[in-house]
Amino acid sequence: MQSRDSLVPKARRFVKVLDGQQHPIRGLWMRGSRYDARLSSEDTSGEMRTRWVPLMGRRPRPKPGTSSAVSR
């Protein structure tokens, strides 16, 4: 019998995002090339609800000291 993870294509899996010391960042996930945050908030009835929020800026930031300008 196959595990559930082996049935889901790799690009469709949520993977925890790790910091520079390889520790997971709470609530931050990556799916393919997209980052998502899993946030809990209180709704109008006072119940806590968990939502997936897609984050903008799918491109990684340039490293410090490198120029993002293109020479012509």
Give the domain ranges of the chain.
6-54
Q: Which residue has the higher pLDDT, 1 or 53?
A: 53
Q: The pTM is what? A: 0.58
> Mean pLDDT across the chain, nearest whole number?
79
Q: Does 21 score more than 90 pLDDT?
A: yes
Pairing of strands 14-18, 48-54: unpaired
Q: Does 72 score more than 50 pLDDT?
A: no
Q: Which residue has the higher pLDDT, 32 or 36?
A: 36
Mean pLDDT of 14-32: 92
**SS3 assignment for the chain:** CCCHHHHCCHHHCEEEEECCCCCEEEEEEEECCEEEEEEEEECCCCCEEEEEEECCCCCCCCCCCCCCCCCC
